[in-house]
Amino acid sequence: MQKLAETTHEIHGLLRERWSPRAFADRVVEPDKLRSLLEAARWAPSSYNEQPWSFIVATKGHAGEYERLLSCLVEGNVRWAQHAPVLMLSVARLAFERNRKPNRHAFHDVGLAVENLVIQGMALGLFVHQMAGFHVDRAREVYGIPEGYEPVAVMAIGYLDDPGRLPDDLRERELAPRTRKPLDSFVFSGQWGQPSPLVHGKAR
């Protein structure tokens, strides 16, 4: 199943193809491919090259570990994410190692690393669905995440499956068209809220 983005301007094919499914196939993700995803995350840019990201990985091949991470999800996400062969939790280090000062870009940089991971996954035929719906305090407790580190998001990773296997409400969302805000609603010039002429092809 493809859900290609209907773009206004040309973008790379992997970006057009990327979306966040809920229907995951009962198929093992090869360890080499998982390592490729993590290697891609490793090479993301970050402020002062601090690389403030960490990842906790659980696969269905290790049932106990998988259930621990699954137990951190809110009930609505457990309904579908329990079928994904891989779950992964991203964590941000909130202070710079170089001087222990707060790193206000930590979440931004973790997001960059995850996007590298997501696009590498697309190149390998894997899809990633990121979830904000999880119990942060439980994740912190279950994994002993220390002070100064913040759980960011949980990801479900795997190969696509037939959306027909989803419950009716989830299948409807799975099949719904993808939408995005137009560029002129968030690309500004001159002052806040003033659309940039660039987005209408008027800039020189």
> What pLDDT score does 204 carry?
56
Q: SS3 of 43, please? A: coil
Domains recognised in the chain with CATH numbers: 13-163 (3.40.109.10)
Confidence class for position 203, pLDDT limits 50, 70, 90: low
DSSP letter string, 90-145: EEEE-B-TTT--B-TTHHHHHHHHHHHHHHHHHHTT-EEEEE--B-HHHHHHHHTP
Which token pair is 33?
A: 């491919």
34-82 tens-digit pLDDT: 999 999 999 999 999 999 999 999 999 999 999 999 999 999 999 999 9
Percent of the chain with pLDDT over 90: 97
pLDDT of residue 154: 98
Instruction: Compute the distance between CA of residue 132 and CA of residue 149 in angstroms, rounded to an integer.
Output: 16
Q: What is the DSSP letter of 150?
A: E
pLDDT score recorded for residue 2: 85
- Give residue 201's pLDDT: 74
H/E stretch holding 57: strand 53-59
Q: What is the mean pLDDT of the chain?
A: 96
The reported pLDDT for the residue numbered 202 is: 64
- Is 139:145 a contact under the CB 8 Å cutoff? yes
- In this structure, the number of other CB atoms found within 10 A of the CB of residue 89 comes to 22
Quick: pLDDT tens for 177-196.
999 999 999 999 999 999 99
Percentage of the residues of the chain whose pLDDT score is greater than 70: 99
Determine the pLDDT at residue 105.
98
> Is the CB of residue 71 less than 8 Å from the CB of residue 142?
yes
Pairing label, strands 127-131, 149-158: antiparallel
Position 200 confidence tier, pLDDT thresholds 50, 70, 90: confident
Q: How confident is the model at residue 129 (pLDDT cuts 50, 70, 90)?
A: very high
